[in-house]
A = this chain, B = another copy of it.
Amino acid sequence: MVFMKAMKLQEFGKPLQLMESDLPQVLDNNVLVKVDACGVCHSDIHLAEGYYGAREEERLVIRDRRIRLPLTLGHEIAGRIEAKGRAVSAFEVGDTVVVYPWIGCGVCRACRAGFDNLCERPNALGVYADGGYAEYVLVPDPRYVLKYDGLKPEEAGVLACSGITALHALKKARVAPDDVLAIIGAGGVGGMAIQLAKALSGATIVSLDIDDRKLEYAKSLGADFTINSSKDDIGAVMKQALGKRANAVIDFVGSTQTVENAVKILVKGGRLVVVGLFGGILKMQIPLLPILALDIVGSYTGTLTDLNEILQLTNRGVVKPVISTSFRLEEANEALAKLRSGEVKGRAVIKP
């Protein structure tokens, strides 16, 4: 019997703890992956804290999502196949793979339609089942592992959340080539969205952030225009520079302020895609929805199709992988703390 180490959340609001356990049993259709790299996502902070929302009176408590502790966090996993069940024929032991973590029940309507990320009884790794802050992770079905090569594991793993979240949101924004697309937030996911919008949409891309260095980064990735929303009057700047409003906005922050900004700069018939989980309350005049024919669309992670697409785009160099800072498994709490305080350059990645 082999043992494995994992960093587990045992109580909301408390640090993760290093624990040892037996390797999980590999059923006929399971794939056991040895973790080479696991990205540290902002949503891991929310999970560890147990709520979304900066202001205490507006918090959305995570217990409502029926998450059971203890839990190994981590859903941006790249690794090698260590073992597989006898019903698994499409992969070999040793294959380097990315794990699609948004695993569903397999039999609900969403799962059967290829929208595993919208499963009614989700079993997502690192959220509802043990994830990648560990030496090994058990994947219930080969459907959820995808081969990769030509990328480093820290580059590949991140695609399973940041990458597909950006791509899925972009698709929901339904951007036309003569659209103005505003992207709020120029961090890792926002930066990926800028690259994807550049490669796939033809639209004029406006990047909004409150940090000038991030806006520089946005420019380097292809943003046509940047606005520091902590300094400038967004609407006025857009009017002056572009002569028009945004046809679509993707909000990778998701705060009261960013959503309000987004609604203000949309054209009639415009679309706001909300992705970020920062938290807060949305307040708006209901008649504006029909009169302006606005769409406010929530987007959650992405599909297996999205992962396949972003893997290929990255592998072919159409989009550049996100740079990363590495941590050891035992440093997971430190990685979370540095991510929370904004000290991490690029994506924080745990390499067990």
CB within 8 Å of B: which residues of A?
27-30, 52-53, 58, 60, 65, 85-87, 90, 105-107, 109-115, 117-118, 120, 140-143, 167, 176-178, 199-202, 204, 254-256, 259, 267-269, 274-300, 303-305, 308-310, 312-313, 316, 318
Q: Which residues in B have their C-beta under 8 angstroms from that of A313?
A: 177-178, 202
Which B-chain residue is minimally distant from A277 (CB atoms)? B287
A286's partner among B114, B142, B199, B254 (CB-CB below 8 A) is B254
Contact A290 B274 (CB under 8 A): yes
Top 7 A-B pairs, shortest CB-CB distance: A114-B114, A289-B298, A28-B28, A112-B304, A29-B29, A27-B28, A177-B309
A303 to B268, CA, bound (A): 15
Q: Which residues in B have their C-beta under 8 angstroms from that of A29?
A: 27-29, 87, 141
Chain A binding surface, main DSSP class: mixed
A202's partner among B52, B90, B115, B318 (CB-CB below 8 A) is B318
Contact A28 B85 (CB under 8 A): yes
Knowing A178-B308, A304-B113, A308-B112 touch, does A106 contact B290 (C-beta < 8 A)? no
Contact A106 B286 (CB under 8 A): no
Contact B283 A283 (CB under 8 A): yes
Contact A312 B178 (CB under 8 A): yes
A29 to B31, CA, bound (A): 13
Q: Which residues in B have their C-beta under 8 angstroms from that of A268?
A: 110, 118, 120
Which B-chain residue is minimally distant from A305 (CB atoms)? B113
Q: Which residues in B have their C-beta under 8 angstroms from that of A279?
A: 285-287
Q: Which residues in B have their C-beta under 8 angstroms from that of A202?
A: 199-200, 309, 313, 318
A155–chain B nearest beta-carbon distance, Å: 17
Contact B288 A176 (CB under 8 A): no
Contact B28 A305 (CB under 8 A): no
A176–chain B nearest beta-carbon distance, Å: 6
A141 to B141, CA, bound (A): 10
Contact A254 B28 (CB under 8 A): no
Can you name 13 extra interface pairs (CB under 8 A) apart from A27-B29, A112-B308, A281-B285? A29-B141, A53-B287, A106-B141, A111-B143, A141-B141, A177-B312, A178-B313, A200-B202, A274-B289, A288-B298, A289-B298, A295-B298, A297-B297
A140 to B305, CA, bound (A): 22
A256 to B111, CA, bound (A): 33
A256–chain B nearest beta-carbon distance, Å: 7
A111–chain B nearest beta-carbon distance, Å: 7
Q: Which residues in B have their C-beta under 8 angstroms from that of A294?
A: 297-298
Contact B290 A277 (CB under 8 A): yes
A234–chain B nearest beta-carbon distance, Å: 18
Which B-chain residue is minimally distant from A251 (CB atoms)? B286
A251–chain B nearest beta-carbon distance, Å: 9
A296's partner among B113, B295, B316 (CB-CB below 8 A) is B295
Q: Which residues in B have their C-beta under 8 angstroms from that of A277?
A: 287, 290-291
